[in-house]
Structure 1
Amino acid sequence: MRWRYQETVLTLSSLAFFVTMVGRLAISPVIPDIAADLDISTTAIGAALTGMWITYALVQFPSGVLADRYGERIVILVAVAGTGLTAVVIAAAPAFGLFVVGTLLLGAAAGLHYSVATALITRTYDDIGTAIGLLNAGGPMAGLITPVVVAWVAVTYDWRLAIGLTAVIAVPVAALFWYGVRPTEPQRPNQSLRDRLDPDEIGALLSRRTIVFTGVVAVLFDFTWQALSSFLPTFFVQHHGYSQTLAGTLFAVYFAGHGVLQIGVGALADRYGRDAAAVACAVTGIAGLAVLVVGSRLWVLVGALLLLGFGMGWAAAVFPRFMDNLAASEQNFGFGLIRTSYMVVAATGSVVVGALADRLDWTAAFGALIALLAVAGGMLVVNRSLDLGY
């Protein structure tokens, strides 16, 4: 089959997502090293990571506004280059204060990418569930590679060099995107940024009942995803007593399964409906978390990670649900606004789970995540069973 330009756009957008995800995930495998070097607690690092996810969330809305004004290509390029630069700031941080500043800036730079890329892909493809699943594959690809490489470099050299590797991969990916993706036409080049911040327009969009319902579901799923991306390696070290290297390898297994299986989630959403696929994600996510807590044999835990990988592919079902309820002219602005709204709440997943683990244990922390997924799945089942129309 002849390679089409739209496949180039999808591939390079996924690679750009890979870079922004590497930057955010590189911190998780070396949390014990950072805590020891900077003399801080797990809760403090969890708070810093929550700050990173909050800035990531806050930038989603302005990224869509900027893309409408200047085009998607330039916004995505800034996201990739900025992720590399801010990773250097974190790696060079001599004290916790500058480390926090670096994580906040990293979240802001990385946050410019996803909403803009999703809107671009939505306008390019018809089967958007499958296309978004493929776009999202850049994240799990980062999860497959990052924990193993970062853990090995941290053990062999130090955590600072491990985190600084993000800058090394950001440069060639930015160059490929600049060369391979044509300049994109802005959707609203003549509308001022102030006009786009009309409170009435924002309020009308966020008050749509379908958007509100889907937003609550997204909060519950994303809270869980954020917590796992921050602390899954630490869970394996502290709850199961595994080495840092083995914990990083298992983290990679989780993301490998996530990367492959979420494409299946998108295909299921296109064929059987968004809600059916999302409920399947909630059920498998609950099963995976439960087995991770009570399981003991390594092969059982690997099976649980595959279940969890499918469950955390929820975005390929939930994001098309948002796009189904947005007009083409709203997709940059609207999806960015929606992402900011739900992700600010979901970003607390890191600090909440870190605090639960510190004050109680990992069983309590993961039990809370199971409860949230049960609520998300229950909402979707009730909506479908009673034909509520949300």
Structure 2
Amino acid sequence: MEQWPPDGRRSTLVALTGGNFAQFGVRLLLGAVVPLVLTDLGTTKSRIGLALTGMWAVYALFQFPSGILADRFGERPLLLVGLSGTVVGAALVSITPSIRLYGIFVVVLGAGAGLFYSPASALISRLYQEHGGALGMLTASGAVAGVVYPIGGSYLAARFGWRFSVAVGAAVALPALLMTLGLVSSLPPANSSRSLRDAVDVQQIRELLSRPSVAYTTIIAIITAFTFQAIGSFFPTFLVEFRGVEPSLAGVGFGAVFGISAIAQPVAGLVSDYVSRDFAIGSSVTLTGLAFLILIFVPSNLGLVAGTALLGVGVSWPGTTQARFMDQLDDAERGYGFGLVRTVYMFVGASGSVVVGTLAEQFGWPVSYGAVVALLSVCVLLLASNRIFGLDL
């Protein structure tokens, strides 16, 4: 752990949570306004899903190089470039005239945002010894963004149009950029001697990914990332089309999920620190699957409210899953290693947007979200097997 004054650590954590709030929130806002984009651009759920998968896939691909560059040159420059790209990408999305350009511009947004998170996580892990709680705070800022952006964005979209709403999202990222510029100091690189050519060595990559505990955690992370994409891209559309909720109220429901998650994530992080990572992850996954079943099969308003609330409690795995990775990586490889595994699991998990959108379009929402429940069941079985059979993964 780096020896920084407590005030310096706290101000850095504040700045990083603000940056995560901005870059994560504007991407969630795109999911909240999908029903309006479908009409305005005259497109389909499968095409919107493909565009959003492209955004999240590029976001994922940038995790690895951003981790390598953070190790080599320090985290601060990557944080600043990432937030700048977030502002530019979101601004371009707000003025897109077609679904094709929409797809290109959301990829620009994904690339900018993709430069932020791995360096932020690595920096926090260097500053905090019990990083489960600190990383839980970082991911919780994304959950808070999931409240503010969908609710506020849906309100603005209903009154002024989805383009205005996304433009406001871009503008909100500017203070986060300035806060990072002013509050985050430069640390010496964690591994300044790392060769960039060596960092992309296939044998080295294979060695890290083939470690049994890393491979196991990667599978768990892929399933949870896929599930998150299913929620982040289409949950408001599901509420509108399947549950008959008005678009503005669907944004409120979407925001409620992340509002509850904002409380649940730090708690899950602390539980993972003091009980076990797998217990915290398994509890989250189980509650998420149950929430989907309630939302699909309990048609009353009680089912809608209970399922939405339970979904918010369930979506509390990000910080605990990431802490599980950090446990398996030493200080010198956390930027590099976490960037690599985050790229892998988020790139594969990004398919959740296009898969869920296409399944909903072809077979309906019960089949679409039912497939997510099936994947979550696999995750629970994997976690249970690790404990029951003493695999020590």
Q: Aligned ranges for residues 197-276 of structure 1 at < 5 Å?
A: 197-276=200-279
Given candidates 21, 26, 31, the residue that maps to 1:23 is 26
Q: Which residue of 1 aligns with 2:357?
A: 354
Query: Offset of 1:190 from its aligned partner?
Result: 4.3
Query: Offset of 1:302 from its aligned partner?
Result: 2.6
Deviations 1:253-274 (A, max 9, x none): 0010011101111111011111
C-alpha distance in 2 between matches for 1:294 and 1:308 = 14
Q: Aligned ranges for residues 269-308 of structure 1 at < 5 Å?
A: 269-308=272-311
Verify: 1:40 aligned to 2:40, yes or no. Answer: no
Question: Which residue identity lines up with residue 341 of structure 2 in the other structure?
Answer: I
Q: 3-state DSSP class of the match of 2:92?
A: helix
Q: Which residue of 2 aligns with 1:386?
A: 389
C-alpha distance in 1 between matches for 2:110 and 2:190 = 25
Question: Which residue identity lines up with residue 261 of structure 1 in the other structure?
Answer: A
Whether the 8 Å contact between 1:23 and 1:84 is mirrored in structure 2 is no
**TM-score w.r.t. structure 1 length?**
0.97
Q: Which residue of 2 aligns with 1:170?
A: 173
Question: Which residue identity lines up with residue 374 of structure 2 in the other structure?
Answer: A
Verify: 1:326 aligned to 2:304, yes or no. Answer: no
C-alpha distance in 1 between matches for 2:210 and 2:8 = 37
Verify: 1:59 aligned to 2:101, yes or no. Answer: no
Aligned identity (percent) is: 38
**TM-score w.r.t. structure 2 length?**
0.96
Whether the 8 Å contact between 2:136 and 2:266 is mirrored in structure 1 is yes
Query: Offset of 1:224 from its aligned partner?
Result: 0.4
C-alpha distance in 2 between matches for 1:26 and 1:324 = 32
C-alpha distance in 1 between matches for 2:32 and 2:230 = 13
C-alpha distance in 1 between matches for 2:217 and 2:95 = 40
Whether the 8 Å contact between 2:284 and 2:316 is mirrored in structure 1 is yes
C-alpha distance in 2 between matches for 1:365 and 1:25 = 20
Which range is displaced more, 113-122 or 307-316? 307-316
Query: Offset of 1:191 from its aligned partner?
Result: 3.6
Query: Offset of 1:3 from its aligned partner?
Result: 6.6
Structure 2 gaps of 5+ residues are none
Question: Which residue identity lines up with residue 51 of structure 2 in the other structure?
Answer: A
Q: 3-state DSSP class of the match of 2:191?
A: coil
Structure 1 gaps of 5+ residues are none
Q: Which residue of 2 aligns with 1:84?
A: 87
Query: Offset of 1:195 from its aligned partner?
Result: 2.5
Q: Which residue of 2 aligns with 1:345?
A: 348
C-alpha distance in 1 between matches for 2:143 and 2:171 = 19
Question: Which residue identity lines up with residue 10 of structure 1 in the other structure?
Answer: L
Q: Which residue of 1 aligns with 2:320?
A: 317
C-alpha distance in 2 between matches for 1:321 and 1:29 = 30
C-alpha distance in 1 between matches for 2:206 and 2:278 = 25
C-alpha distance in 1 between matches for 2:186 and 2:6 = 19
Which range is displaced more, 318-327 or 51-60? 318-327
Question: Which residue identity lines up with residue 69 of structure 1 in the other structure?
Answer: R
Whether the 8 Å contact between 1:253 and 1:302 is mirrored in structure 2 is no
Whether the 8 Å contact between 1:291 and 1:301 is mirrored in structure 2 is yes
Given candidates 102, 114, 118, the residue that maps to 1:111 is 114
Question: Which residue identity lines up with residue 35 of structure 1 in the other structure?
Answer: L
Question: Which residue identity lines up with residue 268 of structure 1 in the other structure?
Answer: V
The alignment covers a number of residue pairs equal to 389
Deviations 1:119-158 (A, max 9, x none): 1111111221111111111111111011111111111111
C-alpha distance in 1 between matches for 2:232 and 2:363 = 20
Verify: 1:140 aligned to 2:140, yes or no. Answer: no
Whether the 8 Å contact between 2:213 and 2:328 is mirrored in structure 1 is yes
Q: 3-state DSSP class of the match of 2:186?
A: coil
Q: 3-state DSSP class of the match of 1:240?
A: coil
Q: Which residue of 1 aligns with 2:185?
A: 182
